[in-house]
Amino acid sequence: MGMRVVAGGIMHETHTFSTEPTTLEGLAADRGEACFRYAGTNHSLGGVIDGCRELGIDLVPTLFASSVSTGTIPDDVFETLADELVTLIVGALPADGIVLTLHGAMVSAGYPDADGEIVRRVRAAVGATMPIAVTLDFHANIGPLLVGEATIITAYQTYPH
């Protein structure tokens, strides 16, 4: 039996000075098989999909939400997406590892390091021994929470992405 990897993420580059609100509708989300639309694209999720296919790894996509850069994410929006992401990841287990496609500059009203908080929640749900790889934008804000909870952290190597 081959490797099985679960993937998901919430990608938002928060512009804390922006007056444009970040909404649940604005953070367009794909779930499950719909995430495979990123295959073959110059996108971090596309790279995960293509890499897994190339290596014969069974990839189970969960939730991928993204938005253009807008203001700080309200707590209700962050909680809704973060809770769904963690629930879907746990529901997709067992797995040999998890890949989280994040940005590294996401801020919610309650979590200045919202990316780190997502990784913390996933780690709490899957346990200390599960490998968690995180992809980030190359100008991410990498804090101690994210570093402490992730197993592997990598940044994009292409632009545009």
133, β-bridge pairs: 99, 152
Q: How far apart are CA 138 and CA 158, in angstroms?
A: 9
At 8-59, the pLDDT tens digits run 999 999 999 999 989 999 999 999 999 999 998 988 999 999 999 999 999 9
Domain residue ranges of the chain, discontinuous segments joined by +: 4-155
Instruction: With a cut of 80, say whether residue 158 has pLDDT above it.
Output: no
At 46-95, the pLDDT tens digits run 999 999 999 999 999 999 999 989 999 999 999 999 999 999 999 999 99
Distances (CA, A) of 159 to 19, 49, 52, 89, 155: 27, 18, 21, 29, 11
For domain 4-155, the CATH architecture is 3-Layer(aba) Sandwich (3.40)
